[in-house]
Amino acid sequence: MAPIPGSGLAKGLAVTLRTMTKKSVTAQYPDNQPDLPPRTRGVIGLFEENCTVCMLCARECPDWCIYIDSHKETVPAATPGGRERSRNVLDRFAIDFSLCMYCGICIEVCPFDALFWSPEFEYAETDIRDLTHERDKLREWMWTVPAPPALDPGAEEPKELVTARKTADKLAAQQAPPASEPHADQQARAAEQPTLPQGDSKQQTDQPEPGRPTPGQEGAE
């Protein structure tokens, strides 16, 4: 069936009229900041203390836009006669956000929880070269990462929390005095008490007091 001439125009005007009567939803950015969902992929924050320079994130990044430099450092043995250890020390950690495609692979593969999504998005630059951000900036963004959501009531407790609590309990048990051991001043008081001769209690009560005659001596006088 052929369309009625002018029906398209009428439909368009109907949509315009309907929209005109609705309340505006324009957000007055930047005066009003948007209320972003907590899992927003704004930028990547680095928690440097957790990074062991394993290079996994740089190797897995499909855009090769993570740059890491490090050097090795020798750590002296913890105990006499022990072996020295070597560890990687981070010198540079940078991400080129002009290449990054926000896939999140680096965050997923990091085995030490050193990378996080931050909802921060106001880092536009006029020069593309300024979009390579170094570790100081990545650390600053770390503090804008929202706290993780609360666990479901029936969820299993994270293994990190269980391990931390067990360690704290073990330390507390090591530091607390044993329950059966008497206190130091109780031990001192016990040492001051006169010790009674060995034997049964009957024998002890039958002992004459010093200076008092025994029954046999009384009769002789």
Binding site listing for [4Fe-4S] cluster: 51, 54, 57, 61, 100, 103, 106, 110
Options 48-56, 137-145, 174-182, 183-191: segment touching ligand SF4 (CB under 6 A): 48-56
Rounded to the nearest whole angstrom, what is the least distance from the CB of residue 54 to ligand SF4 in the complex? 4
Query: Given candidates 43, 94, 100, 145, which one binds ligand SF4 under the rule CB under 6 A?
Result: 100
Q: Is 43 in the site for ligand SF4 (CB under 6 A)?
A: no
Options 73-81, 101-109, 118-126, 164-172: segment touching ligand SF4 (CB under 6 A): 101-109
Query: Given candidates 43, 94, 114, 142, which one binds ligand SF4 under the rule CB under 6 A?
Result: 114
**From CA 214, how far away is CA 36, in angstroms rounded?**
100
The residue count for binding ligand SF4 (CB under 6 A) is 25
3-class DSSP assignment, residue 95: strand
Handedness of CA 188, 189, 194, 196 (dihedral sign): negative
**From CA 145, how far away is CA 118, in angstroms rounded?**
5
HSE-up of 66 (CA within 13 Å, CB side)?
Answer: 24
Closer to ligand SF4 by Cβ: residue 135 or 146:
135
- Nearest Cα neighbor of 68 from 83, 78, 77, 58 is 58
For 185, the enclosing helix (H) or strand (E) is helix 184-192
Place of tokens 């750590």: 75
Q: Is 94 in the site for ligand SF4 (CB under 6 A)?
A: no
Binding interface with ligand SF4 (CB under 6 A): 51-57, 61-63, 65-66, 68, 95, 100-106, 110, 112, 114-115
